[in-house]
């Protein structure tokens, strides 16, 4: 019988960063940026400043001010163009100037990929806490695809900055206009930028428990003798196919990484061909001309030996991979959630068909 899992943290130490990175990569569904550099930066920041306090939404007080932060752009560009050391603090100063009060807590806009890990390093460097929540419960490529939009919460402004120090404060009519203007800034910045906005009231407008959940998934993965099977079990996921990548098509277009990957089954899956469609994240699984899984449900490609997630920009011909799929947070299965993140939101002419059992929520 396996020993009980250690308790999830109320502060994030250096030892928690590796599991967080492993779990965030899984929840990234191929996107959110590669976790390696974000992990190194977070570990270095904790080495310099000490552990970061992890707080729940219910623990926020009247004096707390929360900002959601994330990288924006094509993950493939992010590998080659590293962020500037002052980007996060530049955003913080501008947000504080606009709201007229100190920021105390940072939240990941998406728990997926590097965007789920980087806020820990930013918080350590800036003396802030991290909120045990995010805006997606996974990674999505567009600014409209956040829980705050589903909840009908408005935002006064969004601040963007690039690696050379340009700063733009956007006051858009809605999230759709925000996506258009933020994407234009990102393309002008070379394909990658950093963004932040103030969350006046996170309660009821974010997906809670996702940081601690990612750490728990990462711990299970990193300490397993059978990581693919155990990670699938931890997630309540299905192993759709196990095989090797025989074709990869990828391009950077309009601030996104787009393309597809084809996996040929091996072993028990010999003879099967499965294609995964990509727009930063893994969007749709197609086999024999039929869609078997689609957004907003989660699709992650992992290394068949280590169980570690492979981001879309790092998929290569010949890799031995397993494709995992599992149910999204119930928020995304609402009418508004499917409107914002279902297959039609990405240009696919098909209706969303839920995959697997409804997720119990981010924290369990």
Residue 286 has pLDDT above 70, yes or no: yes
Residue 189 has which token pair? 């910045």
Please state, in angstroms and rounded to a whole number, the distance separating the CA atoms of residues 108 and 316: 28
Q: What confidence tens digit (pLDDT) does each residue in 149-176 have?
A: 999 987 789 999 998 999 999 999 999 9
Ranges of beta strands (E only) in the chain are 11-12, 52-55, 66-73, 105-108, 129-134, 158-161, 167-170, 192-199, 207-208, 238-253, 256-265, 273-279, 281-287, 290-294, 298-303, 320-326
Coil, helix or strand at residue 170: strand
- Report residue 67: phi and psi, to 5°: -120, 140
Question: Of 80-84, 214-218, 226-230, which range is least confident?
Answer: 80-84
| Least confident piece of the model among 3-17, 33-47, 171-185, 265-279 | 3-17
Structure pTM?
0.91
Mean pLDDT value across the chain: 91
Q: How far apart are CA 97 and CA 91, in angstroms?
A: 10
Domains defined along the chain, listed by start: 11-210 (3.40.1610.10), 226-346 (2.40.390.10)
Write out pLDDT tens, residues 255-273: 677 899 999 999 999 999 9
For the residues 109-126, what does the mean pLDDT come to? 96
Q: Report residue 333: phi and psi, to 5°.
A: -95, 5
């Amino acid at each position: 019988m396996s020993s009980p899992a250690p308790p999830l943290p109320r502060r994030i130490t250096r030892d928690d960063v590796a599991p967080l990175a492993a779990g965030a990569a899984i929840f990234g569904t191929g996107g959110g940026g590669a976790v390696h550099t974000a992990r190194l930066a977070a570990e270095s920041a904790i080495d310099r400043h000490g552990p970061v306090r992890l707080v729940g939404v219910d623990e926020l007080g009247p004096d707390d001010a929360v900002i959601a932060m994330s990288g924006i752009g094509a993950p493939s560009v992010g590998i080659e163009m590293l962020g500037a050391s002052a980007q996060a603090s530049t955003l913080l100063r501008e947000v504080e100037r606009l709201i007229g009060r100190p920021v105390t807590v940072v939240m990941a806009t998406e728990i997926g990929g590097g965007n789920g890990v980087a806020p820990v390093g930013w918080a350590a460097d800036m003396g802030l806490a991290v909120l045990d929540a995010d805006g997606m419960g996974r990674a999505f490529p567009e600014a409209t695809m956040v829980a705050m939009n589903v909840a009908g919460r408005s935002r006064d402004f969004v601040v963007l900055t690039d690696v050379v120090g340009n700063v733009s404060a956007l006051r858009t009519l809605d999230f759709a206009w925000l996506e258009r203007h933020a994407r234009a800034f990102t393309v002008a910045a070379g394909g990658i930028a950093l963004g932040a906005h103030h969350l006046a009231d996170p309660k009821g407008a974010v997906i809670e428990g996702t940081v601690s959940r990612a750490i728990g998934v990462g711990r299970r993965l990193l300490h397993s003798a059978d990581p693919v099977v155990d990670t699938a079990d931890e997630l309540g996921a299905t192993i759709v196919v196990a095989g090797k990548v025989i074709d990869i098509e990828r391009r950077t277009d309009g601030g996104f990484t787009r393309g597809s990957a084809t996996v040929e089954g091996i072993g028990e899956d010999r003879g099967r061909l499965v294609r995964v469609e990509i727009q930063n994240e893994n969007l749709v699984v197609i086999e024999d001309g039929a869609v078997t899984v689609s957004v907003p449900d989660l699709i992650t490609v992992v290394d068949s030996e280590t169980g570690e997630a492979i981001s879309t920009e790092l998929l290569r011909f010949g890799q031995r991979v397993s494709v995992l799929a599992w149910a999204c947070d119930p928020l995304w299965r609402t009418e508004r959630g499917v409107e914002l993140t279902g297959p039609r939101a990405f240009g696919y002419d098909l209706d969303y068909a839920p995959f697997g059992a409804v997720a119990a929520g981010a924290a369990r």
